[in-house]
Copies of this chain bind each other. A is one copy, B any other.
Amino acid sequence: MDDLTEMLKGTLEGCVLEIIGGEETYGYAITRRLNDLGFADVVEGTVYTILLRLERNGLVRVTKRPSGMGPPRKFYALNDAGRAELARFWTKWEYLSSRIDKLREGGG
C-alpha cells in the first residue's frame, strides 16, 4: 500500500482511542495491534507520541505495571473524557466518510 501518512492524520488517534476503549493495554501492544489490523507502517514512536498526547489531554488513566518480558509497561484505559472523545471521533468519521462517498458517486 502507498504511503498513508497524510490520510492517517486525525484518524490514527481515533484508532488508538478505540483500541484502548476495547481493553486496557499498553503502547507496544497497541503498535502490534495496529500493524495486524493493516496499518502496517505505523511504528512505535508514532503510537507513543499519541499516547503522551492523550495523557496530556486528560483522556486516559495510566497505570504502570511490571512485565515478565522486559521493562515495566504503561497500561492505558479511557476515562469519561476519553469515551466522549471517542464518540466524537466516530461522529466525525461517519460524517466525513459519508461526504466523501457522496462526492465520489456523482457529486464530483
Contact = CB atoms under 8 A, between A and B. Distances in A.
B7 A92 contact: yes
Nearest to A22: B108
A67 to B, nearest CB: 23
A93 B7 CA distance: 8
Interface stretch (A43-51, A57-65, A69-77, A99-107): A99-107
B2 A103 contact: no
Given A97-B97, A108-B21, A92 B37 contact: no
A98 B21 CA distance: 20
A104 B19 CA distance: 9
A19 B93 contact: no
A26 to B, nearest CB: 16
Contact of A103 (B15, B97, B103): B15
A1 B103 contact: no
Contacts of A98: 38
Interface of A: 1-2, 4-11, 15, 18-19, 21-22, 37-39, 88, 90-93, 95-100, 102-104, 107-108
